Amino acid sequence: MMLQSFENFQLPNLQDAYDVVICGGGIAGITLARQLRLNLPKISILVCDRLARPLPEATFKVGESTVEIGAHYFTETLQLKDYIQQYHLPKLGLRYFVGDPQAPFGERPEIGVRNFEIFHSDFTYQLDRGKLENDLRNFNIEAGIDLLENCSIQDVKLTDGEEFHTVIYKKLDTKETQSVKARWVVDATGRRRLLQNKLGLGKANAKNRSAVWFRLDGRVDVSDLVPLTESKWHAQVPNNLRYYSTNHLMGEGYWVWLIPLSSGCTSVGIVASDEVHNFHNYHTYEKACQWLQKHEPALADYLKDRQPKDFMKIPKYSHSSHQVFSQNRWACVGEAAAFVDPLFSPGFDLIFLANSLTTELIKLDLNNKLSQRTVDHANVFYIDTIDQLNLVYENIYALIGKKPITFALQSVWGALVSWSTLSTVSLNSVILDPDRMAKFQPVLAEIYSLAHRVQQLLNDWSDNSSNRLKFEYFDYLGELPFVDEMRSLHVKFNKTDQELINGCKDSLKLLEELAQVIFLLAVEDTMPEKLQNFSQPIWLNAWGISLNPDQWEQDGLFEPKSLPRDLNPVMAPLRKSIYSNYQPYVLEVERETANAGVAVGV
């Protein structure tokens, strides 16, 4: 793919009317334009943005790290694989440093993968936003999409019937006000949320969290926080590859990110819950350094005297909407629709969902097939997804900075649930069709109800842990074959619905096993004497698990929903990373291992 220079750029000869006008040419707007062009080559598209190229590299916007769905969106849906691989960095997964932030860095329990081979080429990426947005704007122009830069959208006059909408904008250089007609208007103005504000659709998300971030020249590498003499620590992830992960340094109510960028800079950010950390204690660079000194001293010492290239902040970043799509031919995408939380980097996933639904609605409209039912489905699916994510994040933030073991198991559990639900239905376009989606509802509902049960258990475990179960290094892909298998199964596309439903059912079986294993570990940690209540071989009702023994009978814990299966393929690999100082357990494992492989549970 050729990268264009800016000198050759000329203002487009604008049409009076377009099939689609996209207000805002940030990442959501320009990716939607490309997706529309690839799907509907004949339609006319205009993208308008306040900012003109060249956009600054490295120090442009926040949102640099992709996970599976977002990476798939760039490489497959938008057909940018060669470009992304050539000009951006591969990502070595999500990596977390948990435990006591005041301890020497090398002593903190670590969760992360060890090398790139484990991804079997299904990579995720670290994106330099300035570079990406410059290049995508150029690719769009080459593809015949009109781009109006340096112009600020003032208003959108929406119409009810077949008449086109009017988008009113001001040219920032000449101060002239002009307008253009549009069959479809898409709001991609990010936090400006043009349509949401105009139509009063905004919805606050429950808890407030805030963030600041800055970019530094050169490498900020967690490997530098541990002396080279700690050879065992360095050998866990050879060749300083930790640098390529999105590194999270976690403490109570906060996490700090380190993300490498292809421009050679590193992005550093602080995200904190307002309930635990007052935003004004870290909302300037100077204060952020003081805050880091208090909460993440190893990193603060390492960063001392380095000057940031920028410093940005967003207090209370989470928001949602009551409606994002309309049969009246408007849609909201990206942060103009909703944003939940940056932990686990879901921003591009949500852009993929809203952009794909918008593309489908526009396609149906152009074929005279757009119905209220399809629009309602799109709204319900998108807003429910945001609501679900909100709930999940509330629970996860309650685990952050507390017991390393519960956070480690949550990261595995959360990834498996997400791959077997959202990834499956979104990567295979099921979400675009209410009839197809309905076929998945029964199995998805079972997975979600189990997920809810396990999440509650993890939160209760975290509150009651005796710290009996520990780990030093937890490789969630390389050392847990069942996780790797699930990732390979679900982070795939072009499958038939029956194959997908069968895949979800297989996942449900695995999740049923993992839920029981997590339960047994939780019991071992919090009330080991109760382990004797379970007769071997253990097989329970996963939907009845809890840390309240008085409820076990009533919740049907001892009445499994399925025939017994062996828990060992899930328990044994977990046991390789997790060790226990509960002596009766250790002795039992040693005895059983000597006889017949690693024991399960008690």
| Binding region for ligand FAD (CB under 6 A) | 24-29, 48-51, 61-66, 70, 152-153, 188-190, 192, 211, 269, 271, 314, 317, 334-336, 342, 345, 347-348, 351
Task: Please report, as a single letter, which amino acid is at residue 397.
Answer: Y
Q: Which is nearer to ligand FAD, 202 or 238 (CB)?
A: 202
Nearest 5°: CA angle at 65, between 188 and 143?
50
Q: Which is nearer to ligand FAD, 259 or 515 (CB)?
A: 259
Q: For residue 247, what are the β-bridge partners?
A: 95, 258
Considering the complex, what minimum distance in angstroms separates the CB of residue 28 from ligand FAD?
Answer: 3
Q: Which is nearer to ligand FAD, 113 or 545 (CB)?
A: 113
Considering the complex, what minimum distance in angstroms separates the CB of residue 552 from ligand FAD?
Answer: 41
- Contacting residues for 323 by C-beta, under 8 A, at least 6 apart: 199, 201, 379, 383
Considering the complex, what minimum distance in angstroms separates the CB of residue 108 from ligand FAD?
Answer: 22
Q: Which helix (H) or strand (E) holds 278?
A: none
Q: Which is nearer to ligand FAD, 57 or 524 (CB)?
A: 57
Task: Please report, as a single letter, which amino acid is at residue 288.
Answer: A
Considering the complex, what minimum distance in angstroms separates the CB of residue 339 from ligand FAD?
Answer: 6
Q: Which is nearer to ligand FAD, 27 or 412 (CB)?
A: 27
Q: Where are the beta strands (DSSP E) in 254-362?
A: 254-260, 266-273, 312-314, 319-321, 325-326, 330-332
Q: Among 314, 324, 387, which residue's Cα sits nearest to residue 351?
A: 324
User: Which single residue is written with the structure tokens 């695995």?
Assistant: 510
**For 586, left (φ over 0), alpha (ψ -120 to 50), or beta?**
alpha
Considering the complex, what minimum distance in angstroms separates the CB of residue 104 from ligand FAD?
Answer: 28
Please give the Cα distance from 53 to 545 (Å, whole number): 55
Q: Which is nearer to ligand FAD, 25 or 112 (CB)?
A: 25
Please give the Cα distance from 281 to 91 (Å, whole number): 31
Considering the complex, what minimum distance in angstroms separates the CB of residue 340 from ligand FAD?
Answer: 9
Considering the complex, what minimum distance in angstroms separates the CB of residue 381 from ligand FAD?
Answer: 18
Q: Two tokens at 107? A: 């002593």
Considering the complex, what minimum distance in angstroms separates the CB of residue 395 from ligand FAD?
Answer: 20
Find out whether 515 and 545 touch, Cβ atoms under 8 Å. Answer: yes
- In order, the DSSP letters of 172-221 are TTT--EEEEEEEEEEE--GGG-HHHHHHT-EEE-SS-EEEEEEEESS---
Q: Which pairing describes strands 165-171 and 151-157: parallel, antiparallel, or unpaired?
A: antiparallel
Please give the Cα distance from 342 to 486 (Å, whole number): 24
Q: Which is nearer to ligand FAD, 29 or 260 (CB)?
A: 29
Find out whether 598 and 568 touch, Cβ atoms under 8 Å. Answer: yes
Q: Which is nearer to ligand FAD, 233 or 330 (CB)?
A: 330
Considering the complex, what minimum distance in angstroms separates the CB of residue 5 from ligand FAD?
Answer: 21
Q: Two tokens at 221? A: 């590498």
Please give the Cα distance from 349 to 426 (Å, whole number): 9
Q: Which is nearer to ligand FAD, 84 or 599 (CB)?
A: 84
Q: Which is nearer to ligand FAD, 342 or 503 (CB)?
A: 342
Q: Which is nearer to ligand FAD, 37 or 209 (CB)?
A: 209
Q: Which residue is nearest to ligand FAD (CB)?
A: 26
Q: Which is nearer to ligand FAD, 80 or 480 (CB)?
A: 80
> What is the three-state SS of 431-492?
HHCHHHHHHHHHHHHHHHHHHHHHHHHHHHHHHHCCCCEEECEECCCCCCHHHHHHHHHHCC
Considering the complex, what minimum distance in angstroms separates the CB of residue 419 from ligand FAD?
Answer: 17
